[in-house]
Structure 1
Amino acid sequence: MTTWITVCDTCKQEGWEDGAMEQTDGEQLAALIEDAARGTETIKTRRVSCLMGCKHGCNVAIQAPGKLNYTLGRFAPEAEAAEGIVAYAEKHAASDSGQVPYREWPQAIKGHFVTRHPPIPADE
């Protein structure tokens, strides 16, 4: 089953306005995640403008139908973070419930979980 990585491309870390950056931190992280996910069979990526987690930027959501969904934040726009996010998403995709045992979490995502959402019920 496909797991989606949704990346907030408007995230800006503290002090962003002081730099001469042409891209937001979220845009930079999104590009790195897209590169890291290229060629994976179970991961798709998308960008959205604002996940409303500004105090936790840079934010991503790990999502799949019928599974636990997660919001992660406080990432620097770096390759190590992107690779860890994609590695976790691959484990999420392989899990029936979306839950990944802590011992299998990539180091790069530890300490970055913000929220967990139960799956939406299949019927009313």
Structure 2
Amino acid sequence: MPLVSLENTITLAISVKDRHASAQWYNEKLGFELVHHIDEAGWSEMLTKTEGVTLGLGEQAEPAPGNTVPVFGVADIASARDALEGAGVRFDGETETIEGMVSTATFYDPDGNAMMLAQDLAGQA
């Protein structure tokens, strides 16, 4: 029996310089929806496209980029990457593929936080 009973939710917390600007970026680039800004706490939350998973934006004068790397599943990594690159999103190197398993591509938000796209290749011919 586990020590704690966990809910079916998770929040991925990252540091950003400007929560309002970051929330707009995540909305425009990835389609995330703002839940709320809690200005007095320096915190914002957004709904991701995955049920039960929210993105928490903690405002810091000097963010600590790379403190977590959320991985977002996509059906077609090439078109997802093309769309983000077309919108000025910076990627780290080429898309990497492990045949029959997964393709991944690392990209960055405006504060240098690393994110990944992943396409599940299992079962594809």
TM-score under structure 1 length normalisation: 0.28
Which structure carries more strand by proportion?
A: 2
Larger RCO (CA within 8 A; separation ≥ 6): 1
Which structure carries more helix by proportion?
A: 1
